[in-house]
Structure 1
Amino acid sequence: VMLTVRFHGRRLVACLLLLLAGMGVYHLFTLNSLVDIPDRVLLSPAHLACQHPILDVKNPEIYRFFHNVDPIRCSEEPEWVSVSGSVATITGRTRKEHGDVECSFTELVRDGDDAVRRGLTTTTHDTFVFTNSDFYVVSCTAKNGKTWENTIAGIRRDEDLRSQTSWVKVPVDALKLNFLMLGFDSLSRNTFIRTLPKTYAFLTDTLGGHVMEGYNIVGDGTPQQLIPILTGKTELELPETRRRMGERAQYVNSYPFIWNDFKKNGYITMFAEDQPHIGTFQYRLRGFDASPTDHYMRPFFVATYPEYKNHPKLCLRATPRHKVFFNYVHAFMSEYKNSPKFGFAFHAELSHDDYNLV
């Protein structure tokens, strides 16, 4: 019996040693192969458990999923009203073609996160200044009987709001910088490089931007990524806000958003997101009760989304919807040119379902 045990014991030890040796050889060749293949070079030191590969942006196996799409074609009729910052103007071309034009501007007022209502109406034959709202429904009638209607977005001139922001209020030990965070839903870093090469070159070469190559997702879904970015915590660490929890669910305002910290320190704040039917904080979560930032674009898209079927694809009359979105962001940065500002803009319509549209 003892001889049998010793025999099996020696054979077991030999097998284990052989297995360990085989694993060592396999590991050695695997590391060498990773170094040899350009699109799998290790970024991290070999002793770290989380290894980030450098993937070949021009890999043909990936590029076959990319293709050109037709340009966005909006209405050929020019816009009757143009917007620059906080001022809307009946265009000279419109008056030249149609004669005297009278336009009524009706406020769009936020009524919770999922509805809007109409407020006061102001009539003009020339220019209009945004005062009580960032969004207006415009209805115009020309002397020749022609009519035009659209919903427009700009940055209202709120003097009380402007008086609350100043570089003097920013802490002396702060960086004293303006902040604009711009995101594209469902767009990876490599896809950004593939679809927006000029923008990437401008960010990295001209501006000298830093690319966070080690950044990775921390959950499944848009909220799981943006909540940690904007609060420093995961959803599980924060108050319950899921719609399906009924009365137990709090509004998302209960989260410690970073824009609240900027607001407390003298900054003006903005949050813009399109695609209201799949909003980051509304699709699965309860949304906001009070407006989360000083300027908040959701009411605009809540008002216009049901009307998309009446406009050319991806357009609001003669303007691509993504341009309306980015014009609003640009207007925010321009209107507060000399004030400290924090903006977070998250665009989804072009990238969420088909990155070829970007």
Structure 2
Amino acid sequence: MIRKIRRKKSKLLTWAFLFFVANYILLKTTSKINLKTNKSKIDSKINKETVGEQTFKKLDEGKTNFEVCQLPKLNYGLPLEDLKPMPKCTVERNWGNVDSLDHKWTLDKEIQTRIDSIRCKYRRVERIDDFKVNLGSFNELKDGDIVRDDVFEVECDGKNKSNGNQVKFDNLYVQVVNNNPKDKFNIGKDSSGCFPYNVMLLSYDSVSRVSFVKRLTKTFDFIKNTENFFILTGYNIVGDGTPQALIPLFTGYTEEELPSALKNDPNGKYVDEAYPFIWKELHKKNFTSIYLDDWPQVGAFSYRMRGFKNHAPKHYPKHYQLYMMQRNRRLKKSNDFCNGDTKRHKIMMNLLTSFKQLYRNRQSNLAIMHYVENSHDSNDHLHWLDDDIFEFLNNGFREHLFDDTIIFLNNLAKLTSPFDIHATVRDLTCSKKEIKNDRQRSISLFGKISIYRSCEDIGIAEHFCTCVRDWKSKNINTKEIKEVAEFAVESINSVSSSKRDLCQVLGLKKIISAEKLDLDGKVVYRVSFITYPNNGIYETIVYQGKNEGFEFISDNFSIKSKNDISRIDSYGEQPWCVAKFGSNPGLMLDLRKFCFCYIKKKFNLFCVIFNSC
């Protein structure tokens, strides 16, 4: 329940999520609203409701005969390896910069004390789609000129005052430009009397809760010691990979429930044509939006998928990241994690700040950033973000970019998922909607989430369920466990069998660990093992006996789905023959974690097997 409060028109409401794609979500509430648990009488009965052919249990906190999800106790005492210092940017100082609000180009005064006769030119970089850019013609750029292109390239030359030598500077710039400014305050209640909040979603790829606490110490201390930050310790992923983390959050559905947007599918559509992204609906409600990501070569919606065509967020500088990657490769720039004199992750945060400044008091807005570079391959560079995330949050609140506060009071230690975040965003933006065949897996964090909620209720496979179970360790040398592991390897081979001309048959090399569980009368195994010849490390959940509806079934064992088989080491270049999406028409499966390609002539066998190419 949300209690109405009086608010000044000069203030906006912002709900900010800072989350890390793993099992961790932080909430910062920014409006003085008290969210109270509904005090109506709790019905102690179990109500069964039907949605189509689906039935689900509606549980409440009055029940005592249902299992409560016990969350794991994590070990934060593990020592970190030596933290590498952040490298300095190769470019000591940009020759000029563009103002984030008035878009005026200004030559740097300190540079002008060293460089004489500076002449600059610039050209526009235009997005064609998520894979191609168009470069405009160069035009003269003078000190004080206004540049209203969101992405542009600058080249300058001049004379070094100390020795008279010619010197050059070049850089790629990105900014948030509102080419359809709204001069009047344009925020208010909708026709139903609902007041829309702003929403900000910040995510960093492949970061666990322990890694966040240990590596982002300043940020965590700020969160821990700042009023109205809350941690969803029961947040649970619903699948393996970044799209499986983001698609439910942005759409309320899983990838499998939506039309195909795959490059390899001849009938695949662009993601904005296939997916009901929430910003499409918010745009109709007069919201503006921004979506920032990096590493276009592994983009969540452009690696396996066809990317966006027309209905992307209003501000979507994908072409900045795309052209920067192409440009750095062409100019053979060393990877200092910078663009010009600024770290690339800092540039993304600056864009978010500019976006919030530009639309403050003007227009309701949705801001999304998913950042990959510092944590995707490993978390060794994650700590480099700490100072800048802290500064972004601290300055944002101090400068009233996130004015007004919501106090969130319940659901903190209950089982939640990306579906619930989607429902919460809808709740906050006055866009509530029933999701077809939802089975109440999407519950707003302002609603009532039962302590008896289970992974099964949400649709989370046992393989990804964070609830602590009574797993019993088993001897890995028994015939029983060997048969379980061999069935798992057979299942992996059955996935890659459609491309046997490309993918080698794998065998069981070693069993690492095995556990057994009695789950509602079913015997379940969790097994980790190594395969050969790829030295791949896998983990999966295997059910005893035949189970109808499962993807892999033998006389003795079953595995629900290929999605329940995880490869937990880096596969590197091993699946090179199936990793170039779009080059294998009709190959609908993502075989990267299952396929060990026949060796390329240019690759050394040792380096492919041990991922050292």
Normalising by the smaller structure, the TM-score range is 0.7 to 0.9
Q: Which amino acid aligns with 1:354?
A: S
2:152 counterpart of 1:136: yes
* 2:333 counterpart of 1:310: yes
Say whether the 8 Å CA contact 2:238–2:245 is kept in structure 1: yes
Give the C-alpha shift of residue 312 in structure 1: 4.2
Retained in 1: the 8 A contact 2:188–2:196? no
Tell me the secondary structure at the aligned position of residue 346 of structure 1: strand
Aligned AA (2:268): A
Shift of 1:223: 0.2
Equivalent position of 1:336 in the other structure: 359
Distance 1:101 1:356 in 2: 40
Find the residue that maps to 1:210 and give its secondary structure: strand
Q: Deviations over 1:264-313 (max 9, x none)?
A: 21221000000000000011111111250111121101001123341442
Residue from 44, 54, 62 that aligns with 2:73: 54
| Among 111, 117, 133, the residue aligned to 1:116 | 133
User: d(CA) in 1 for partners of 2:235 and 2:286?
Assistant: 30
Identify the residue that residue 270 of structure 2 maps to in structure 1.
251
Unaligned residue ranges in structure 2 (runs of 5+): 1-63, 161-165, 383-613
Residues 123 and 215 of structure 1, relative CA distance in 2, 3 Å threshold: same
1:351 equivalent in structure 2: 375
Q: Aligned partner of 1:84: which letter?
A: D
Give matches, 1:86-235, under 5 Å.
86=101, 87=103, 88-119=105-136, 121-131=138-148, 133-142=149-158, 145-158=166-179, 160=180, 162=182, 166-168=186-188, 173-235=193-255
What letter matches 1:298 in structure 2? K
Larger deviation: 68-77 or 305-314?
A: 305-314
**3-state secondary structure, aligned to 1:229:** helix
State the aligned residue count: 307
- Give the whole-Å Cα distance in 1 for the aligned partners of 2:139 and 2:184: 27
Match of 2:229, SS state, is coil
1 CA distance for matches of 2:317 and 2:65?
46
1:323 lines up with 2:346 in the alignment:
yes
Q: Aligned partners of 2:303, 2:290: CA distance in 1, in Å?
A: 20
User: Secondary structure of the equivalent of 2:152?
Assistant: strand
Query: How far off is 1:213 after superposition?
Result: 1.1
Aligned to 2:600: none
Q: Give the match's secondary structure for 1:75.
A: coil
Mapped pair 1:294 → 2:294? no
CA positional deviation for 1:104: 1.5
* 8 A Cα contact 1:169 1:266, kept in partner: no
**Pair 206,307 (structure 1): closer, same or farther in 2 beyond 3 Å:** same
Report SS of the residue matched to 2:114: helix
Please give the alpha-carbon distance, in whole angstroms, between the structure 1 residues aligned to 2:91 and 2:320. Answer: 23
Instruction: State the shift of 1:347 in Å.
Output: 0.4
Residue range with higher mean Cα deviation, 119-128 or 258-267: 119-128
Distance across 2 between alignment mates of 1:202 and 1:170 = 35
Once the two structures are TM-superposed, the CA of residue 337 in structure 1 deviates from its matched residue by: 2.2
1:71 to 83, 86, 106: 86
Cα distance, 1:200–1:176 mapped onto 2, change above 3 Å: farther
For residues 257 and 114 of structure 1, the distance between their equivalents in structure 2, rounded to whole angstroms, comes to: 20
Q: Are 1:69 and 1:356, in contact at CA under 8 Å, matched by a contact in 2?
A: yes
Distance 2:184 2:322 in 1: 28
Which digits, 9 at most, give the CA deviation of each residue in 1:58-89, with x for residues without a partner?
2x2xx34x431122221253111223314232
Deviating more after overlay: 45-54 vs 86-95: 45-54
What is the distance in 2 between the residues matched to 1:353 and 1:164? 45
> Residues 180, 71 of structure 1: CA spacing in aligned structure 2 closer, same or farther, 3 A cutoff?
same
Counterpart Cα distance in 2 of 1:285 and 1:126: 42
Q: 2:297 aligns with which of 269, 272, 277?
A: 277
Query: Retained in 2: the 8 A contact 1:110–1:117?
Result: yes
Post-superposition shift, 1:330?
Answer: 1.8
Q: Which has the higher contact order (CA 8 A, sep 6+)?
A: 1
- Asked if the contact 2:199–2:365 (Cα under 8 Å) also holds between the matched residues in 1, the reply is yes
Letter in 2 for 1:239: P
In structure 1, C-alpha distance between the alignment counterparts of 2:368 and 2:76, rounded to whole Å? 27
Tell me if the contact between 1:223 and 1:280 (Cα under 8 Å) persists in the aligned partners: yes
Which residue in 1 is equivalent to 2:261?
241
Change (3 A) 1:93 1:171: farther
Flag the 1:121–1:217 CA change in 2: closer, same or farther, 3 A.
same
**Rg (Cα) greater in structure:** 1
Contact kept? 1:67, 1:356, Cα under 8 Å:
no
Moved more, 116-125 or 171-180: 171-180
1:100 CA displacement = 3.7
Deviates more, 1:342-351 or 1:99-108: 99-108
Structure 1 position 94, deviation (Å): 1.9
Q: Which amino acid aligns with 1:273?
A: D
* SS at structure 2 position matched to 1:356: coil
Map Cα deviations across residues 104-148 of structure 1 (whole Å, 9 max, x no partner).
2211100111011112544232134332x3110011122553221
**Residues in 1 aligned to 2:120 and 2:65: alpha-carbon distance in whole angstroms:** 67
Q: Give the deviation of 1:162 after TM superposition.
A: 4.0
Identity of aligned residues (%): 29
Letter of the 1:351 partner, please give it: S
Cα displacement (A) at 1:321: 1.5
Amino acid in structure 2 at the alignment position of 1:321: R
Kindly indicate whether the alpha-carbon contact (under 8 Å) linking 2:203 and 2:370 is maintained by their aligned counterparts in 1: yes
Q: Which has the higher helix share?
A: 1
Q: Secondary structure at the match of 2:305?
A: coil
Q: Give the ranges of 4+ consecutive aligned residues of structure 1 lying more than 6 Å apart after TM superposition.
A: none
Q: Match for residue 590 of structure 2?
A: none
Give the 3 Å change call, closer, same or farther, for CA 82–170 of structure 1 in structure 2.
farther
User: Compared with structure 1, are the counterparts of its residues 266 and 71 closer, same or farther at alpha carbon in structure 2 (3 Å cutoff)?
Assistant: same
Distance 1:190 1:237 in 2: 32
Note closer, same or farther for the CA distance 1:333–1:223 as it changes in structure 2 (3 Å cut): same
Are the structure 2 counterparts of residues 278 and 170 from structure 1 closer, same or farther at C-alpha, using a change threshold of 3 Å? farther
2:169 counterpart letter in structure 1: W
How much does 1:263 deviate?
A: 1.6
Kindly provide the amino acid, as one letter, of the partner of residue 141 in structure 1. D
Name the amino acid aligned to 1:203.
I
Inter-partner Cα distance in structure 1 for 2:157 and 2:349:
28
